[in-house]
Amino acid sequence: METIVTIDGVPYTFVTEEGATSLKLESATTTSSDSVPQVLTLPDAWLITRGNGVPLFAVRPTASDKPFRILTAERLYSEQIQWFEPLADFYRERLWVNPQCAEEGAEAFAAFKHHTWQSIIDFAIVDRESFMYYKGLPGDWKKQPDGGAGYLLCLVEGEPYWTDGLGQIPFGVDTFRMYWQQTDDVDTAIRKTGKTGLEWADGTLGGNDEEGSENVYDNFIILRACLWASKNFRRVAGTKSFGGLRAAGGDAPSVSTVYQPVSNDLLKSSITAEALARYKVWKP
């Protein structure tokens, strides 16, 4: 199988055979007296493949990286590389996505759990107790059949994401709503949600005990979720009556947040420098 990958306007041919992928380089025939070696150029890119070698997408290495690699998605994930949050650690620009990733029945299609932003929202707006987001429970989106379904990668309206990154959205939305109801202040609720995300970094309380940078994509996706929820929910304050106790002062304050869709833009947009400066609660 051959796949044409265009990098910086130049088409490169990759050949997949027997579970392995290689770059096809073609040289021109010259005379026997030609002593000038022909220069064969490699793309400044990393090609990411399935385990069976099928190309999925490509990212651009940094100046300090090896300039050309072919590696599996599993290897890329183990190196913590991400391509969807430019201000987070380990960012590499995404250069290309195989069109067959979106073609049902194709080998590349099968590498992903397929979603729309609305399908993720539909899961995220369900009211759940906070403990339901604990690893393996019904709020753990990345493991649920209508969530990530255990896939390493998701394709959302043509864009690839790490599934565990998207899995932060339902947690972020629900936790923001809880703190907004409690505090009646959006900024405070966003920062408290970020701090709670650090405490539950791996889906368990105290999950951020490992040393190192916390400037990772999980925390950025939580911030995305908060910003989106702040514009797509309405805070409603009122009272709750306890039946016949009304005359005896049986009413109690009641606060809720109600889904009122406006736009998905904040959910599918990377975090800006302005938002990061305002809401960052992690190190460095």
Distance CA(266)–CA(271), nearest Å, equals 8
Confirm if 90 and 82 have CB atoms less than 8 A apart: yes
pLDDT digit string (tens) for 181-231?
999 999 999 999 999 999 987 766 655 545 668 999 999 999 999 999 999
- Picking from 159, 145, 140, 164, the residue whose alpha carbon sits closest to that of residue 78 is 164
- Picking from 56, 55, 54, 75, the residue whose alpha carbon sits closest to that of residue 66 is 75
pLDDT of residue 207: 57
pLDDT of residue 77: 99
Q: Which residues, 6+ apart, have CB-to-CB distance to 101 below 8 Å? A: 56, 57, 108, 109, 111, 112, 155, 158, 160
pLDDT of residue 48: 99
pLDDT of residue 210: 59
pLDDT of residue 206: 57
**H or E, element range at 193:** helix 186-199
Confirm if 171 and 123 have CB atoms less than 8 A apart: no
Give, in degrees to the nearest 5, the angle at Cα 214 between 233 and 181.
25
Segment-wise mean pLDDT, segments of 10 residues, the chain, 284 residues:
96 96 76 60 96 98 98 99 99 98 98 99 96 94 97 99 98 98 98 95 62 90 99 90 51 86 98 98 92
pTM for the full predicted model:
0.90
For residue 271, give the DSSP letter: P
Distance CA(230)–CA(13), nearest Å, equals 46
